[in-house]
Structure 1
Amino acid sequence: MAYAFFAFFACVVLAYGDQIPAVLWHGMGDSCCNPLSLGRIEKMIVDKIPGIYVKSISIGDNIIEDTFNGFFKNANEQIDIVCAQLKADPKLANGYNAMGFSQGGQFWRAVAQRCPTPPMFNLVSVGGQHQGVFGFPRCPGSEALCEMVRKLLNYGVYERYVQDNLVQAEYWQDPLNETEYRKYSVFLADINQENVKNATYKENLMKLKNFVMVKFLQDTMVQPKESEWFGFYKPGQDKETFTLQESPLYMEDWLGLKEMDAAGKLHFLTSDTDHLQFNDTFFNNELLPFLK
């Protein structure tokens, strides 16, 4: 009996001593396995946390498909695909930490709200546009892809075809036409609870132990950069911005962020650089601790 007890105790210690897996999601114009971006991040994590299992999300069967789908596959469909991938991976059955870059950060939040199984413990959003964007200043993809995106946005960002088929349109928030945005947005208005208030979204997001948001102070990609901390333009214009704490989303606590903030679960980090331009020291000191 004594042997059985100690064997059981050893198993428990081993189970709790294992590193929590980390799952990464790239941004627009990138892919799961680019050795200069997500591949490098994965290597940094593995080098600093020996034995950790790292998974990098891919929407498609190869790098080309994954990159293309970052522009042209409906965001809601992407969330469904990722939820299925997470559930199908036995190494994630006991939970994981999520790290997303640019649009990958806000997509992870949608996963946290919609797919509580397996459990997400920490969410690290690196430049994620949680209030969306109003502007498309630079594009990290190929010239042909970027030109196609611009034409579709110019055609009519809230047209049904564009909303269903252009990822960036699905988190485009027009402060000059909020009524149209709320009526026709197929993704952002839903996850931000701007129409129907889904109690499950709030309940699921509040299960996070930590929600980390990185804002890039010199960001020339995300307009406005305040979106990376849930801020945005004040209604009716595109110059002055409000903070998360000044928004109805926070004050009326549509997503539980006010309660999470009071509990110390929200972490607002800054990097005095352009979009996603952080160095190894910033990553190791500020972000990596949330993956341990």
Structure 2
Amino acid sequence: MEWKIIFLAAVSVFCTASVSCQSNSSMPLVIWHGMGDSCCNPLSMGSIKNLVEKQVPGIYVNSLEIGSDIVADMANGFFMDGFAQIKMACDIIAKDPKLKNGYNAIGFSQGGQFLRAVAQMCPNPPMHNLISAGGQHQGVYGFPRCPGDNSTLCNLAREMLNLGAYDSFVQDNLVQAQYWHDPINEAEYKQYSKFIAIINQENYVNQTYKKNLVTLNKFVMVMFGEDTMVEPKESEWFGFYVAGTTSKLYTLRESQLYIQDKLGLKQMDAANKLVFLTAPWDHLRFSDEWFIANLIPYMK
């Protein structure tokens, strides 16, 4: 019996120090929803959370709520400064004891670029795998529709963008303007964008942000092949319009972000850390079977 007691004591000490003592050795998962959604909508993030928990028994899932309740969470996705949201997310993650040894993350639509910013700016606790499902990593040049097409929030966002995406009031008060990328006015974009140009290190390379991103194990990018919401959809793989045009596109590997390795993506690519997936549907549409086969492996 003595050896059993010693063994159990050793296991107890090990479990205190390591996330691997969960029931199936799974790493916790952090979820960040997209525009017009909330942390706990049973038809969206709630459904994703349930699906993950069924496929990875015993996993701990934290679906980020950016605000005091789900109403504030949804509104903040439109009207709360991007970096203020990143800070709130980093605080939530840092204060969650179940995430202290590291976690995987999946962001949907704008939640994808927001979680990428978390990886760049907040390395503790460490993010292991990052999955971006429809994230707009080079921004967008168009706002054709959004969830709840007739909703007050969507219509107000469009009205504000019509005032001018780089107007200081719009930049300060509309999240979507902060990742508006005008290829006809690249200089204006780089000068006035208050989020996407900064995390993409367009004007200044923060070596710490670059170093933090490179430490990811895998950076999985999902592009929706029939996307009618994101313009251009290639932004989901870091592609975008060639400067001065709205028709000709470049790929990640043709971009200055990659060639100059401003984010460390070239380094990550050489280390086989970048994963490019195509979901053959419209924005954020996928089957359970596709999700299970293609994304669940990066959540274990």
Same fold (TM over 0.5): yes
Q: Secondary structure at the match of 1:176?
A: helix
User: Does structure 1 residue 274 correspond to structure 2 residue 274?
Assistant: no
Question: C-alpha separation between the residues in 2 aligned to 1:76 and 1:5?
Answer: 49
TM-score by length of 1: 0.97
- Which amino acid in 1 is paired with 2:141? F
Q: Deviations over 1:75-134 (max 9, x none)?
A: 110001001111111111111101000000000000000000110000000000000000
User: Which residue is 1:224 aligned to?
Assistant: 232
User: Which residue is 2:252 aligned to?
Assistant: 244
Which of 23, 35, 49 aligns to 2:30? It is 23
Alignment of 1:104-123 (within 5 A): 104-123=111-130
User: Does structure 1 residue 189 correspond to structure 2 residue 197?
Assistant: yes
Question: C-alpha separation between the residues in 1 aligned to 2:46 and 2:4?
Answer: 44
Deviation at 1:272, TM superposition (A): 1.0
User: Which residue is 1:72 aligned to?
Assistant: 79
Deviates more, 1:42-51 or 1:137-146: 137-146
TM-score by length of 2: 0.94
User: Which residue is 2:11 aligned to?
Assistant: 10
- The number of aligned residues is 292
- Which amino acid in 2 is paired with 1:55? N
User: Does structure 1 residue 44 correspond to structure 2 residue 51?
Assistant: yes
User: Which residue is 1:265 aligned to?
Assistant: 273
Deviation at 1:52, TM superposition (A): 0.8
User: Which residue is 1:153 aligned to?
Assistant: 161
Question: C-alpha separation between the residues in 2 aligned to 1:248 and 1:280?
Answer: 36
Deviation at 1:11, TM superposition (A): 3.6
User: Which residue is 1:87 aligned to?
Assistant: 94
Extract unaligned runs of 5+ from structure 1.
none
Question: C-alpha separation between the residues in 1 aligned to 2:51 and 2:154?
Answer: 30
- Which amino acid in 2 is paired with 1:288? I
- Which amino acid in 2 is paired with 1:201? Y
Extract unaligned runs of 5+ from structure 2.
none
Q: Percent identity?
A: 58
Q: Deviations over 1:25-50 (max 9, x none)?
A: 00000010000000000000111111
Question: C-alpha separation between the residues in 1 aligned to 2:109 and 2:248?
Answer: 22
User: Which residue is 2:217 aligned to?
Assistant: 209
User: Which residue is 1:102 aligned to?
Assistant: 109
Which structure 1 residue ranges, 4+ long, deviate > 3 Å from structure 2?
1-5, 11-15
Deviation at 1:255, TM superposition (A): 0.8
User: Does structure 1 residue 234 correspond to structure 2 residue 236?
Assistant: no
User: Which residue is 1:136 aligned to?
Assistant: 143
